[in-house]
Amino acid sequence: RKEVEQDPGPFNVPEGATVAFNCTYSNSASQSFFWYRQDCRKEPKLLMSVYSSGNEDGRFTAQLNRASQYISLLIRDSKLSDSATYLCVVNPKGTYGGSQGNLIFGKGTKLSVKP
């Protein structure tokens, strides 16, 4: 089983739609969770961090379910500019209880927002 699994998509949605991405992780001791956004041939850019049960920032909401080892990202009122690949990223637990330095990435979910 992969450490971080995502539906690869692509998700093709019209402008204004609400879209949700799901992600599961295998290490139950994982400490922190992130959604990064990656545009074609660009670097990953941090979109949201999730340290407790969830986080909301404008049109974006991330939720964490530790019991099910599941993270989601909800995008409301999709814009053309939201088209990108969304990477689910997990930071595992370190030796001394806190986060480890290395990030574990999913393969990403591709989103295409159409006019």
Partner 1 sequence: EAGVTQFPSHSVIEKGQTVTLRCDPISGHDNLYWYRRVMGKEIKFLLHFVKESKQDESGMPNNRFLAERTGGTYSTLKVQPAELEDSGVYFCASSQGGVGAASSYNEQFFGPGTRLTVL
Rounded Cα distance between 34 and 96, Å, is 21
Nearest to partner 1 of 61, 107 (CB atom): 107
Identified binder of partner 1 from the candidate list 16, 26, 51, 59, rule CB under 8 A: 51
Q: Is 45 in the site for partner 1 (CB under 8 A)?
A: yes
- C-beta of residue 94 within 8 angstroms of C-beta of residue 29: no
Segment near partner 1 (CB under 8 A); pick from 18-26, 44-52, 53-61, 68-76: 44-52
Task: Determine whether 34 is exposed, middle or buried from the number of CB atoms within 10 Å of its CB (0-12, 13-18, 19+).
Answer: buried
Binding interface with partner 1 (CB under 8 A): 4, 31-32, 34, 36, 42-46, 49, 51, 87, 91, 94, 96, 98-108
